[in-house]
Amino acid sequence: MLTDHSGNSVQIARDYLDSLLVESRIVGAVKPDTTFSFLGKTFRTPLLTAALSHIDLVGMAEGARLAGACVSIGMGDNDEFGQVLATGAKVIKIIKPYADPEEVLSRIAFARDHGALAVGMDVEHAVNVEDAEDSLVAGFQMKQPTQEDLSRYIRASSLPFFIKGALSVTDALRCRDLGAAGVILSHHNGLMKFAVPPVMILPEIRKAVGPDFFLIADGSIESGFDAFKALARGADAVTMGRALMSPLKENGADGVRDVLLKATAQLQAMMIRTGSKNLKDIDPSVIWEPVLYRPCATR
């Protein structure tokens, strides 16, 4: 029986995550290691903060740093971004698809010159939800970047570049061919109606791009159990966004740290129960999915 979500991609993604079941392989299991090696750095966890904005980004970054996690951040001015970097957190700055290429390039230059770990662009936030017009975001005019635009930004960055919003094999391969380091699979809280859940399409994308292209799953990750499912289906890492917002508001950086540490413990719990020694050792075949959806045609 299919549920009517009326095109609410957030709910569809949530329900899909909950529909995935996990088989137990606990006999002889050893204590798992959640260490995440990423872009030459070592993190305690493959959980990242999502590219949020209009919140206390400094508190968010500090919380992630305390938890040993990598940070991605979204829109905001360079002043705030500088304060985020000053926490010592390792930061991926996701830059908006501004209509003015100079705006993009100057923000890339700031990130590069001030020690960001990587940059990226949320290409899924350039046009409106209900029509094909360019979006106005917090007073800034956006424009859907062309492949030439993206190639220019990637070349200009000289940092690893992540394209946020790729959600198909076609897009992921295009991003790889353009020179991106990886993609953040995202529908940005339902900016696309009826979006295929990132965790649903992950195995197809992983198969197409191979093992060395970073795939970060974004959207509706609320626990380490969700994170485990995404990792088992081919993600290198996952982001948590809304799940961190109330803890940040209520307890600041400590609230963010506590959620990330709890989710990492849950991930570790799932790893020991599936006989996964480390992140690379998670076997995709521990996941059982309901056979409700199939691609329409083979590629």
Ligand X SMILES: Cc1cc2nc3c(=O)[nH]c(=O)nc-3n(C[C@H](O)[C@H](O)[C@H](O)COP(=O)(O)O)c2cc1C
Q: How many residues does the chain have?
A: 299
In the list 12, 183, 221, 267, the residue contacting ligand X (rule: CB under 6 A) is 221
Q: What Rg do the C-alpha atoms of the chain give, in angstroms?
A: 18
Dist CA 150 CA 147 (whole Å): 5
State the nearest-atom distance from the C-beta of 27 to ligand X, in Å. Answer: 34
Question: Which CB sits closer to ligand X, 93 or 257?
Answer: 93
User: Which stretches of 135-256 are assigned E, i.e. beta strand?
Assistant: 136-137, 140-141, 161-164, 182-185, 214-217, 237-240
240 makes contact with ligand X (CB under 6 A): yes
Which range binds ligand X by CB under 6 A, 1-9, 182-190, 225-233, 284-292?
182-190
Asked if 195 touches ligand X (CB under 6 A), the answer is no
Question: Which residues lie across from 42 on neighbouring strands?
Answer: 37
Decide if residue 189 touches ligand X (CB under 6 A): yes
Looking at 46, 59, 68, 74, which residue binds ligand X (CB under 6 A)?
A: 74
Instruction: Give min distance, CB of 98 to ligand X, in A.
Output: 12
Q: Is 107 in the site for ligand X (CB under 6 A)?
A: no
186 binds ligand X (CB under 6 A): yes
* Bridge partner list, 136: 141
Q: Is residue 185 involved in binding ligand X (CB under 6 A)?
A: no
- Residue 61 interacts with ligand X (CB under 6 A): yes or no: no
- Which range, of 56-64, 155-163, 227-235, 241-249, touches ligand X by CB under 6 A? 241-249
* Cα–Cα distance, 268 to 278 (Å, whole number): 9
Q: What's the sign of the alpha-carbon dihedral 105, 108, 109, 110?
A: positive
Taking the complex as a whole, the smallest distance from the CB of residue 28 to ligand X amounts, in Å, to 35
Is residue 227 a contact point for ligand X (CB under 6 A)?
no
Pick the catalytic residue from 5, 114, 125, 188: 188
Tokens of 62: 């500090």
The minimum distance between CB 114 and ligand X, in angstroms, equals: 18
| Residues ≥6 apart with Cβ < 8 Å to 60 | 49, 52, 71, 73, 84, 244, 248, 253, 256
Residue nearer to ligand X on the CB measure, 11 or 25:
11
CB of 217 to ligand X, least distance (A): 10
In the annotation, is 188 catalytic?
Answer: yes
Give the three-state DSSP class for 8: coil
Calculate ∠ Cα 136-51-140, nearest 5°: 15
Candidates 111-119, 200-208, 219-227, 273-281; binding stretch for ligand X (CB under 6 A): 219-227
Contact, 165 vs 124, CB < 8 A? yes
Instruction: Tell me the C-alpha distance between 125 and 54, whole Å.
Output: 15
User: Distance between CA atoms of 129 and 113, rounded to whole angstroms?
Assistant: 34
Q: Residue 112 CB: number of other CB atoms within 10 A?
A: 16
Given 31, 54, 294, 299, the residue binding ligand X (CB under 6 A): 54
Instruction: Give the shortest CB-50-to-ligand X separation in angstroms.
Output: 4
Return the active site residues. 188
Residues that bind ligand X (CB under 6 A): 50-55, 74-75, 94, 122, 164, 186, 188-189, 218-221, 240-243
